[in-house]
């Protein structure tokens, strides 16, 4: 059974600081996703990572994937208040066709002025 | 381009009743998947439909069912509602390519009293 673990689960940081969210998964996967969710809202797609060593960046967020270590990271650079949200990673197992994703517990990020 | 549309957005039911939720995917998307989000269990996969066929199914009881129509619109049904079925039900659509990016709707928030 595919398991996905994120840490930390709660992250409070100051504006302007850098931090990294980690996502570990238990079995081989060929697709890893990062999503953002604001309170009471749906999931917003941030990144799709498809291969070992993949790195994608959008604004102050950068995601990377190490399939050998079964680890993805979401790095936040110079955080701003608008980044406050819950961030989820999700993994599709290699044996699974289609869109069956296993989600991590989510990391609740609060950026304080 | 219209996004994923879910209806109704909010609904309140009582135990024992049944409910039907609807999802219209992004035009051209043939894969529709459903997820349940609760504070206790997080995001859990319910099922996925592709070309009117259920392709994947999560670990939910038979009270949870779904279907997909020829126009790719999907419905899910929950019968004999229990208090624990209170959740945000999210629908996602995708093009079903190797990139497999999923786009989520705003969700249907079900409260069971």
pLDDT tens digits, one per residue of B67-110: 999 999 999 999 999 999 999 999 999 887 666 788 999 999 99
Please state the φ and ψ torsions of residue B85, each to the nearest 5 degrees. -85, -5
Restricting to A residues 28-57, those with a Cβ less than 8 Å away from any Cβ of B are 31, 33, 35, 41-45, 48, 50
Percentage of residues of chain B with pLDDT beyond 70: 96
Looking at residue A28, its pLDDT comes to: 80
What's the CA gap between B73 and B34, in Å, rounded?
12
Of chain B, the percentage scoring pLDDT greater than 90 comes to: 83
3-state secondary structure of A10: strand
| CB of B93 closer than 8 Å to CB of B71 | no
* A30 secondary structure, DSSP code: E
Nearest residue to A43 (alpha-carbon basis) of A111, A113, A99, A98: A99
Rounded mean pLDDT, B21-25: 97
Q: What is the pLDDT of residue A83?
A: 96
pLDDT of residue A98: 65
Q: Which of the 8 DSSP states describes residue A69?
A: T
Query: Which chain B residue is nearest to residue A88, measuring alpha carbons?
Result: B43
CA A17 – CA A77 distance, rounded (Å)? 7
Mean pLDDT for all residues in chain B? 93
**Bridge partners of residue A71, in order along the sequence:** A24, A66
Cβ distance of B96 and A88 shorter than 8 Å: no
B10 pLDDT more than 70: yes
């Amino acid at each position: 059974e595919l398991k996905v673990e994120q840490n930390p689960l709660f992250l409070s940081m100051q504006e302007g600081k850098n931090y990294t969210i980690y996502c570990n998964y238990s079995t081989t996967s060929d697709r890893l996703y990062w999503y953002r969710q604001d309170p009471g809202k749906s999931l917003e797609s941030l990144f799709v990572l498809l291969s070992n060593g993949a790195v994608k960046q959008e604004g102050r967020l950068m995601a990377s994937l190490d399939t050998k270590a079964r680890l993805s990271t979401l790095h936040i650079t110079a955080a701003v208040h608008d980044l406050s949200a819950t961030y989820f990673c999700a993994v599709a197992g290699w044996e699974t066709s289609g869109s069956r994703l296993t989600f991590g517990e989510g990391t609740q990020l609060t950026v304080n002025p | 381009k219209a996004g994923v549309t879910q209806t109704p957005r909010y609904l309140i039911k009582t135990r024992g009743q049944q409910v039907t939720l609807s999802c219209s995917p992004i035009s051209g998307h043939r894969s529709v998947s459903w997820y349940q989000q609760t504070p206790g269990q997080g995001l859990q996969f319910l099922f996925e439909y592709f070309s009117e066929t259920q392709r994947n199914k999560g670990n939910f009881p038979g009270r949870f069912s779904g279907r997909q129509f020829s126009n790719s619109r999907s419905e899910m049904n929950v019968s004999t509602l229990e208090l624990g079925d209170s959740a945000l039900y999210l629908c996602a659509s995708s093009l079903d390519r190797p990139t497999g990016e999923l786009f989520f709707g705003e969700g249907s928030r079900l409260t069971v009293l």
